[in-house]
Structure 1
Amino acid sequence: MVVWVQFPAFPVHFYHKDILFSLGNMLGREIKLDYHTLHQERAKFARIAVEVDLSKPLIPRVWLDGAWQYVEYENIPVVCFECGKVGHTSENCPSFCRSRQPDGDSASI
């Protein structure tokens, strides 16, 4: 599936086609750059179209020059932030195995 991906607060000095395509290829297969990103007309975020395999976990962030760069996927309605897959939420994750009960040392009011 082809989706638009945003890199919020993307450093302006990384607005280069090769860098952005490399980031896109970390997420899937880069398709094209957004017009405004390509021409450096928007400083809030960079945007690129990427083909992703929705049967695999989505990547929430990438390491870029010593810092984490967060990734926002546009128009993917239901994403599990525990396993990264599409189609269910964290609360209903079939592969996330942890007790949702408080520990023995915990107390509730």
Structure 2
Amino acid sequence: MTKILQAEGNVGIEDTGDNTFVFEFQSSRYRSRALKESPWNFFRNLLIFKEPIGLKSLRLMDFEETTIWVQFHNIPLAFMHEDILLKLGRQIGMVVDLYRGENGLLQGRFARIRVRINITQPLKKCIRICAMRDEDDTIVLLVYGILPDFCYACGRLDHVYRDCEDD
């Protein structure tokens, strides 16, 4: 685990049951990094780090949501503006951040938007947008970063396509 997190020193891990663990970092710098860059992919399993708040019991902490970078492919260049990208991002979750290139612009082959998503709900694979009244709809393809296996048929994270029971 220390190698995956690229942390200095040992990382203490305690299994508390119910697929929940407590991590103890020797370095506050690496602890902050693990929280900021969460979620992590650990042997094709989603590892979500959450900051304990106050005296809240571990059993009351919510691990159903996480923030993740999503690539939006096939967006018309006319739509590569902050207000439009925020609107597109809100179609899949709460927008946390927009990636701007080295020059500070949103232009590129695709847009990267960090969104908070509920991992218990199916993930969208695409978004349909209408650029102009007299043109056909454009299909914006979504590529999620740091995901374990997930089903491309139903969009759920708890199984892969070959094991899907959804018709």
The normalised TM-score by structure 1 is: 0.78
Q: Which residue of 2 aligns with 1:79?
A: 150
1:7 aligns with 2:72: yes
Which residue number in structure 2 is paired with residue 88 of structure 1? 159
User: Which portions of structure 1, spanning 4 or more consecutive aligned residues, are displaced by more than 6 angstroms?
Assistant: none
Greater Rg, structure 1 or structure 2? 2
Figure out how many residues of one structure are paired with residues of the other and give that number: 95
Of structures 1 and 2, the one scoring higher in RCO (CA 8 A, sep 6+) is: 1
In the alignment, what sits opposite 1:61? 126
- The Cα offsets for residues 10-67 of structure 1, whole Å up to 9 and x where unpaired, read as 2221111111111111001111100229613x42111100011010000001111221
Q: What does the per-residue CA deviation read over 1:77-96, in whole Å, with 9 as the maximum and x for residues that have no partner?
A: 21111211112101112x42
CA contact (8 A) 2:74 2:139 kept: no
Q: Is the 8 A contact 1:9 1:43 kept in 2?
A: no
Equivalent in the alignment of 2:82 = 17
Which secondary structure does the structure 2 equivalent of 1:91 belong to? helix
Partner-residue secondary structure (3-state), 2:149: coil
1:70 corresponding residue in structure 2: 141
